[in-house]
Amino acid sequence: MAFHQAAPSLGNQYDSDSLLREYLERNLPAELLSRFESEYRALGELNGGELFRLSLADLDAEPVHTVWDPWGNRIDEVEVTEVWKRAQVICAEHGLVAAGYDAELGAYARVHQHILNYVTQASLDTYNCPLAMTDGAARTLLDSGNRALIDHALPRLLSRDPTTMWTSGQWMTERVGGSDVGQTETIARRDGDRWRLYGTKWFTSATTADMALTLARPEGNPPGSRGLAMFYLELRDEDGKLQNLHINRLKDKFGTRKLPTAELTLDGVEAIPVAGLEGGVRNITPMLNVTRTWNAVAAVLGMRRAVALTRDYADKREAFGAALIEKPLHVDTMADMVAETQGAFLLAFRVVELLGRIEAGESSESEQLLSRLLTPIGKLTTGKQAVAVASEALESFGGAGYVNDTGLPKLLADAQVLPIWEGTTNVLSLDTLRALKQEGVWDAFVGEIRARLDASTDPRLNVAVERCQAAVRHAGQWLEATLAERDLVEAGARRFAMTLGRATELALLANHAQWCLDAGKGERGLAAARRFARSRIDLIEDESFMDESRLLVD
């Protein structure tokens, strides 16, 4: 009989994740872990089993936009896929958004929420996008202090009942401005005591939302981001019809194809100013910081999925007389993927921890400053790692990794959005510099690194400690020397931000390795820290190197 290769499969995505379980034992109070562990395990089972199979069976399905009904009425209905219908129920019932606001969990609400996220989403076809935006909208409304909107929308956004839970969109991108949001052309016009919006939104996720936060310029306001206001709107009227809003088309994207991202025309849609009639970009930044945190966790859960599939296949696939797992070169390649994934995990969850502590009112000033810096750094660093690890995972399957109906190319296509949306790597590198303008941010960062390295005392961790210290020292010197030189600091911003990101991951890995050694968890953490230490941490180059950039591109 002809040979047929067994496909990769997954087990329980909670039980098989030793880093996750170590992290929880270390960071979640025992009482909370024992309360939630069975839920994590059940979701991990669903994720690696039934939902994984469903997502493969549903691979070709895509959202369908129906513009007209049979009688010529414009309806703009969007039918989502089976996985998304299932995801709506699972995510509401398990409180994927609500858990982050569970006051009873105090500073741990965000960690609990993002563990739920991490153990479910890899099989849910980018349903984390509407969850992230819903969470961001809840945070932004709360921060705005707009009592009427909070009372009206929050119970719906935080509902655990799939029949009543709302999701929110985040409509910021226009034809003129994806990164440079200040160019927004949408106009807000008074209509009696109401406001109506007129304009086109070029990328909007997800069109199935119930409400959205968006930016528009009240007529007569000055240009630029300060002249924008943040508006709240509901997409449908009481009869469920889109109100003065057209879906022009769904985007034909490289990845995240289950996510109905649309171009919209706002043709007088009624909207409510959330927090005054200016300062819209500043007012919407809580949303950006929440969704950037989700982005970092999305990167990590995607990397974890890529590694899990690669690892399973290494047992099943034989070449040159043995299973791939017996091949030293394959093992070396996979070990790099694992070390990158573990570093990214610890950075993403550090960002999550800080968010939870701040929101619970339990953070120090230094933690608040650190959070402002690590949020963009976490997003930009993990986004790039996710693409690299997904690409390596595809290669580990040889030709099968390049064949669409194996479901494997989707890993890469879906990862590729992570460094793009919610701020590209370069925009977030500039945001890192913006964050560092605030006094005390650099000291907070250095303090975090020092504390992690001081606790990493095993001599086998010296390589990690020394390389991390050297990278942070170099980054500090570079910042001091170039901060006054606008072009130079901008040119080096990505190298600088990535260096901070990789150095933070290394410090967290070393610290985690030490904990594992002390807690009798073995030497896997040690191996991850030592391997990561040997990758490039310090990416900063000198002025003459940077000067040659233009020579190359002209």
Interaction site with ligand MFK (CB under 6 A): 128-129, 132-133, 170, 172-173, 179, 181-182, 205, 225, 281-282, 285, 288-289, 291, 294-295, 298, 421-423, 427, 431, 434
Query: For residues 66 and 438, which CB has a smaller minimum distance to ligand MFK in the complex?
Result: 438
Minimum Å gap between C-beta 209 and ligand MFK is 11
Query: For residues 281 and 533, which CB has a smaller minimum distance to ligand MFK in the complex?
Result: 281
Here the tokens at position 472 are 């942070």
Minimum Å gap between C-beta 278 and ligand MFK is 10
Of 464, 470, 484, nearest to 529 (Cα)?
A: 464
CB-count exposure of residue 29 (10 Å: 0-12, 13-18, 19+): exposed
Minimum Å gap between C-beta 472 and ligand MFK is 22
Amino acid in position 110: R
Angle at 384 between CA 547 and CA 258, to 5 degrees: 135
- Pair 376, 504: CB distance under 8 Å: no
Query: For residues 414 and 448, which CB has a smaller minimum distance to ligand MFK in the complex?
Result: 414
Query: For residues 124 and 453, which CB has a smaller minimum distance to ligand MFK in the complex?
Result: 124
Minimum Å gap between C-beta 531 and ligand MFK is 28
Query: For residues 95 and 169, which CB has a smaller minimum distance to ligand MFK in the complex?
Result: 169
Q: Within the chain, how many helices (H) and strands (E) appear? A: 18, 11
Amino acid in position 521: K
CA dihedral 306, 307, 310, 315 (to 10 degrees): -150
Instruction: For the chain, state the CA radius of gyration.
Output: 24
- Pair 195, 273: CB distance under 8 Å: yes
Minimum Å gap between C-beta 195 and ligand MFK is 21
Query: For residues 359 and 431, which CB has a smaller minimum distance to ligand MFK in the complex?
Result: 431
Q: Which contiguous run of DSSP H or E holds residue 122?
A: none
- DSSP 8-state code for residue 256: -
Query: For residues 131 and 339, which CB has a smaller minimum distance to ligand MFK in the complex?
Result: 131
> Which residue's Cβ lies closest to ligand MFK?
225
Minimum Å gap between C-beta 181 and ligand MFK is 4
Minimum Å gap between C-beta 204 and ligand MFK is 8
Query: For residues 46 and 212, which CB has a smaller minimum distance to ligand MFK in the complex?
Result: 212
Minimum Å gap between C-beta 421 and ligand MFK is 3
- Pair 400, 448: CB distance under 8 Å: no
| Interatomic CA distance for residues 496 and 462, integer angstroms | 23
Minimum Å gap between C-beta 453 and ligand MFK is 27
Minimum Å gap between C-beta 217 and ligand MFK is 13
Q: How far is CA 212 from the centre of its chain?
A: 19
Long-range contacts of 397-405 (CB under 8 A, 24+ apart): 397/8, 397/309, 397/310, 397/313, 397/317, 400/5, 404/59, 405/59
Query: For residues 36 and 118, which CB has a smaller minimum distance to ligand MFK in the complex?
Result: 118
- Pair 305, 122: CB distance under 8 Å: yes
CB-count exposure of residue 58 (10 Å: 0-12, 13-18, 19+): middle
Query: For residues 133 and 324, which CB has a smaller minimum distance to ligand MFK in the complex?
Result: 133
| CA atoms in the 13 A half-sphere facing the CB of 315 | 9
